[in-house]
Structure 1
Amino acid sequence: MQKIAGQTMVQTVQEALRRQIQDGQYEPGARLPSEAQLTQDFDVSRTVIREAIAALRADGLVEARQGAGVFVQVPAETTGLPFQNLDFQLISSMVELLELRTAVETEAAALAAQRRSPAQEEVLIAALGAVQQAAESGAPTMEADFALHLAIANATNNPRFAEFLTMIGPNVIPRRALADSSAESVSQDYILGIQAEHEAIVSAILDRDEDAAREAMRTHLKGSQKRYRSLLRDAARKGMPLS
């Protein structure tokens, strides 16, 4: 077998076997040729074959069975990504998420109050203004609302908070689920109440008051649970399907 430039002979054999497996020449559960046969096929030493097989085993592509040979691994069943089986029209699903968000985002607000940079302050102010502008123009506010919460998560300067929100997505905003299901628009009083809570959160962060930021976020998300239940009850009375 001709060695590929820039690779050792072990790497060349390893990649050749990997391609054969990926191309289906050896299907999951199939036994690879014997070490002697592979040595002959690739025209290399047994040591090269053993090291190439060891590399494939480390990658989880093959497994050695005592006295039986080397077999292509059967792919493990993939577990679904978290938060993918949620029904945002069900009270239980949304309340579960709001409870989880309360645990995560209250601390995010406190950390943002400690750590936010001047540039992040500007982003927070702009995001708060975007929600206000959408509300005043009568446009949907869900995307701007989510962007504000994401800006707070980013202001923690711990990327895991933003990753958490991004993984769940904008449907964490309760009224988004109703709007996407053709529910009537949410009242202006509802929007104004939420915006006042947003302003309290952002003000506390800008003032570097972590206790106030934590409490303002907790009040906001606890209130969201109550408001969501109310919205769903209203929607049910108007005949909107909830499940």
Structure 2
Amino acid sequence: MAIDFGQIRRSEHLPARIASHIAREIGEGRIKPGDKLPTEHILAKAFGVSRSVVREAIAQLRNEGLVETRQGVGAFVRDMHARPTIRIEQEELVDRESFRSLFQLRMPLEIEAAGLAAVHHDVEDMQQLDAALDQMTGAEKWTEQGILADLAFHRALAAATHNEYFPLFIGFIAERISHAINAARAAAVLEEIVEVTIAEHVVIRDAVALRDPLKARDAMRQHLLGAASRLDLTLETF
């Protein structure tokens, strides 16, 4: 299966487009450090999308270190000197080799995260993993909601490491990789690719639940290699 990487740009989903727009406003100084972003309700109305889409966009900005969220208060732009700078514009990933390099980086991070999650997860972590998996396998699995649930699963797994840096880096990479999920879906039999992807996530979840770090690492490794092959990417493995 050959992927036209131009599809990634065309299939970029709504949260990413909104996040890019807000990031541009921040980068060009129209939204300044310390400023509070408008509420989810206001942003949803302004962009003509649901609040869940806005929530995903804010999560992406948080993963990129552009904003910080305060429980019950809202999202605030972080000071340029205080925040980590991790940003890759989507246009760069239209280049096949750049995209493969990003996917290669995903391998060690997510494999290690799966092992650590198996060791360190708690009851709440498993609830988050199961909630994401329920969404992935539900009635909306064929839609964009299925992609968002896939992202939520990987974020929950990163959080289950109980290492604050894994969610930051994995969340950032997952957002970029997610644009390729749309491209892969467009280039394959949708039913087949969705069911295979779900099965791979179930194996990861079960290994984590068993607190078996070796099985969890292997399950994640197989999932990532499978995902890469569905994008016609060849990764280096040792």
**Alpha-carbon contact 2:154-2:174 (below 8 Å) kept:** no
The Cα shift of 1:165 comes to 2.3
Give the counterpart of 1:172 among 170, 177, 183.
Answer: 177
- Alignment correspondent of 2:153: 148
TM-score (norm 2): 0.56
SS of 1:83's partner is coil
2:116 matched to 1:111? yes
Letter in 1 for 2:196: G
Indicate how the Cα distance of structure 1 residues 203 and 174 shifts in structure 2: closer, same or farther if over 3 A, else same: farther
Aligned counterpart, 1:162: 167
- The corresponding residue for 1:93 is 98
1:223 aligns with 2:216: no
1:139 aligns with 2:143: yes
**Which structure 2 residues correspond to residues 28-39 of structure 1 after superposition, within 5 A?**
none
Which residue number in structure 2 is paired with residue 187 of structure 1?
190
RMSD across aligned positions (CA):
2.6
Unaligned runs of 5+ in 2: 1-83, 234-238
Distance change (3 Å), C-alpha of 1:176 and 1:223: closer
> Deviation of residue 214 (structure 1)?
0.2
Match of 1:67 in 2: none
Deviation of 1:82 (Å): 4.2
Relative to structure 1, the CA distance from residue 134 to residue 90 in structure 2 (aligned partners, 3 Å threshold; closer, same or farther) is farther
Change (3 A) 1:176 1:226: closer
In the alignment, what sits opposite 1:202? 205
When residues 86 and 225 of structure 1 are mapped into structure 2, their CA distance, relative to the original with a 3 A threshold, is: farther
Q: TM-score when scaled to structure 1?
A: 0.55
Q: How far has the Cα of 1:119 moved from its partner?
A: 1.1
Q: 1:224 to 1:86 in 2, by over 3 A?
A: farther
Return the index of the structure with the highest Cα Rg: 1
Counterparts of 1:161 and 1:147, CA distance in 2: 14
In structure 2, C-alpha distance between the alignment counterparts of 1:91 and 1:134, rounded to whole Å: 33
Do structure 1's residue 102 and structure 2's residue 107 form an aligned pair? yes
Count matched residues: 149
What is the CA deviation profile of residues 166-190 of structure 1, one whole-angstrom value per residue up to 9, with x for unaligned ones?
A: 33352312534528xx946751101
Q: CA deviation at 1:147?
A: 0.7
Contact 1:174/1:228, CA 8 A, preserved across alignment: no
In the aligned structure 2, how far is the partner of 1:86 from the partner of 1:108? Answer: 28
| Paired position in structure 1 for 2:133 | 128
| Runs of 4+ off more than 6 Å | none
Q: Give, in angstroms, the shift of residue 83 of structure 1.
A: 2.8
CA distance in 2, matches of 1:145, 1:105: 14
How many angstroms apart in 1 are the aligned matches of 2:230 and 2:94?
Answer: 14
Q: In the aligned structure 1, how far is the partner of 2:110 from the partner of 2:91?
A: 20
Residues 197-237 of structure 1: CA deviation (Å, up to 9, x unaligned) = 0000000000101000000001111111111128xxxxxxx
Distance in 2 separating the partners of 1:80 and 1:160: 14
Secondary structure in structure 1 of the residue aligned to 2:94: coil
Q: Which has the higher contact order (CA 8 A, sep 6+)?
A: 2
In structure 2, the partner of 1:65 is: none
Does structure 2 conserve the Cα–Cα contact (< 8 Å) formed by 1:131 and 1:145?
Answer: yes
SS at match of 1:87: helix
Q: Aligned partners of 2:114, 2:201: CA distance in 1, in Å?
A: 11
**Gapped runs of 5+ residues in structure 1?**
1-78, 231-243
Distance 2:140 2:230 in 1: 17
